[in-house]
Amino acid sequence: MADYDLELVKLRKVYPGGTVAVENFDLQVKKGEFISFVGPSGCGKTTTLRMIAGLESITGGNLLIRGNDYTHVPTEKRPTATIFQNYAIFPHMTVRQNIAFGLKVRKLPTDEVDRRVDAIIEKLELGDVAGEKEASLSGGQKQRLALGRGLVTEPDILLLDEPLGALDANLRKSIQEELKILQRELGITFVFVTHAQSEALSMGDRVVVMNAGRVEQISPPFELYTRPKSPFVARFIGRNKIIEGKLASVDAGNSVLETRFGKLRGVTGFDPGRASTGSKAMAVVPSEYVNILPAGEGKGKDELDTLRGTVTSLDRVGQVVHVAVRMDERLDVRLEVHRDKIAGTEVEPGRQVDLSWRHDRTTIVLDAA
Task: Report the distance separating Cα 200 and Cα 188, nearest Å.
Answer: 17
- Whole-number Å distance between alpha carbons of 122 and 216: 40
Distances from the Cα of 241 to the Cα of 42, 166, 176, 205, angstroms: 26, 32, 29, 25
If the CB atoms of residues 42 and 294 are measured against ligand ATP, the closer one turns out to be: 42
CB 170 within 8 A of CB 135: no
**By CB under 6 A, residue 12 contacts ligand ATP:** no
- Between CA 86 and CA 61 the distance in angstroms is 30
Cβ count within 10 A of residue 271: 10
User: Sign (positive/negative) of CA torsion 355, 358, 359, 361?
Assistant: negative
Q: Of 126-155, which residues contact ligand ATP (CB under 6 A)?
A: none
Least distance in angstroms from the C-beta of 40 to ligand ATP = 7
User: Pairing between strand 80-83 and 157-161?
Assistant: parallel
The yes or no reply on residue 319 touching ligand ATP (CB under 6 A) is no
43 contacts ligand ATP (rule: CB under 6 A): yes
Q: Is 47 in the site for ligand ATP (CB under 6 A)?
A: yes
Identified binder of ligand ATP from the candidate list 2, 3, 10, 15, rule CB under 6 A: 15
Q: Which of 172, 180, 195, 351 binds ligand ATP (CB under 6 A)?
A: 195
Task: Please tell me whether residue 197 binds ligand ATP under the rule CB under 6 A.
Answer: no
Instruction: Write phi, then psi, for 137 (nearest 5 degrees).
Output: -95, 150
Contact 226, 41 (CB under 8 A): no
Task: Give the binding range for ligand ATP (CB under 6 A) out of 40-48, 67-75, 85-93, 292-300.
Answer: 40-48
- Check binding of 163 to ligand ATP (CB under 6 A): no
Q: Least distance to ligand ATP from the beta carbon of 42, Å? A: 4
Number of residues counted as binding ligand ATP (CB under 6 A): 13
Candidate residues 7, 8, 23, 39; the one interacting with ligand ATP per rule CB under 6 A: 39
Which residues contact ligand ATP by CB under 6 A? 15, 17, 19, 21, 39, 41-47, 195
